[in-house]
Amino acid sequence: MVRLPLTPAEIERGQNLGALLRRARTDRSMFDVAVAAGISPETLRKIETGRVATPAFSTIAAIAAVLGLSLDDVWAAINQPAATPVYQALADRLPERLAS
């Protein structure tokens, strides 16, 4: 099966997802988050760096659950350009949401 190249929009969403997960992980180690989510640390590293721009839904859901992120928040964040108010508002709320 031939895989089509990623579109610019898919690449941007992958970068947004990686940035969101890195911020949400805060001081937790990549290893701890990956193990808790049931994935390898290498997979999490690739997602956070944008090398895997379109991870499986179940992978995103598992990581989001470990980090205390709702899938609605993840969806909103990855579909907004980094400079938009929605993305910034989610990024600003992360520390308070993780503290509760």
pLDDT at 79 over 90: no
Output the six-digit token pair for 81: 């350009």
Residue type, 70: S
The mean per-residue pLDDT over the stretch 78-97 comes to: 64
d(CA 19, CA 26): 11
Whole-model pTM?
A: 0.77
The pLDDT score that the predictor gives to residue 83 is 53
Domains of the chain by range and CATH?
10-99 (1.10.260.40)
Closest CA to 48 of 72, 11, 91, 15: 15
